[in-house]
Amino acid sequence: MNSAEVRHDWSAAEVQALFDLPFNDLLFRAHSVHRRYFDANKVQLSTLLSIKTGACPEDCGYCPQSVRYDTGLEKEALMDVEVVKAAAAKAKAAGASRFCMGAAWRSPKDRDIDAVIDMVKAVKDLGLESCMTLGMLKEQQARRLAEAGLDYYNHNLDTSPEYYEKIITTRTYQDRLDTLEHVREAGMKVCCGGIVGMGEEPADRVEMLRQLANLPEHPQSVPINSLVKVQGTPLNGLPGEQSIEPFDFIRVIAVARIMMPRSYVRLSAGRQAMNDQTQALCFFAGANSIFYGEKLLTTGNPDHERDVALFQRLGIESDQVAEQVDTAEEAACCGAVESADAAGKAATA
């Protein structure tokens, strides 16, 4: 079987066999697949901005934006479109090619869609790709966003169906799949991944990637988030031994690359805690997208200078490298990555 074949019929045994490969063999295979579909020395840069912060009614165990947890997060109303436009302009000047906007809603109301459509148009006018994560979408809402020109919609699966209820009880796994279906049918690109290091078993990582790869169409962008523990959230008390260690995280990146060869695999939340060597191995294993900027929705991210320095050391370029060099000092990406979503969710973009 061609190792770079695009498939939607992975079995759990096949995915487990990939995880079980010797580390060097897995990385060689993933890197070979990556080079077939992408320039191995190019990384897509996205910036994530929280356009409406806090007071989310959901109970996602990793997320500081939940109204159920006391995390010290200040609630913020929906931003004005001009503020969003200014943030997008700074992100573009710093090298980002995609601007992602996240709102802490369970599901937007129709009047919320009216407001965010203006933001989509403002971002598009700057020549940036646009992405939003607003919670669950109805079919008509997805169509309206698509008609407004939204390029990507982020809605993560977070984990396996079996582990899901240990992390979230206020929406079902099927609710997430339904939103993804509405996004696909509306003609938007899908940004969908998950979070590792939440105390899940290795088998849950297998099943999460299998769920993603066996969707009717692979997500065009697949964020892989490492849990960011936030004080006040239930997962902040997760024992250290239940977190994910670097080699296992790199394996998740590599297997995602093999299973979804045409997708952008985003090294997402949790990067701030990773050393340069771990990030370099993730890029070698097939990660070719990052969130760029010093904040991800509500949690920290490596600063602009660290990312620029790492890219220079590795010989990696962004798709806007010329502008990045010209304006690096004046532009601090106002981005944000998913929270502990970053865990992922909102973050996870």
63 an active-site residue? yes
Catalytic pick from 100, 192, 282, 334?
Answer: 100
266 an active-site residue? yes
60 an active-site residue? yes
How many whole angstroms separate alpha carbon 98 and alpha carbon 319?
A: 10
Handedness of CA 315, 220, 140, 161 (dihedral sign): negative
98 an active-site residue? no
191 an active-site residue? yes
How many whole angstroms separate alpha carbon 145 and alpha carbon 132?
A: 9
Closest CA to 161 of 196, 205, 199: 205
Catalytic pick from 29, 176, 191, 282?
Answer: 191
Catalytic pick from 98, 131, 176, 271?
Answer: 131
Catalytic pick from 29, 56, 205, 271?
Answer: 56
192 an active-site residue? no
Catalytic pick from 251, 266, 271, 334?
Answer: 266
131 an active-site residue? yes
- Enzyme catalytic residues: 56, 60, 63, 100, 131, 191, 266
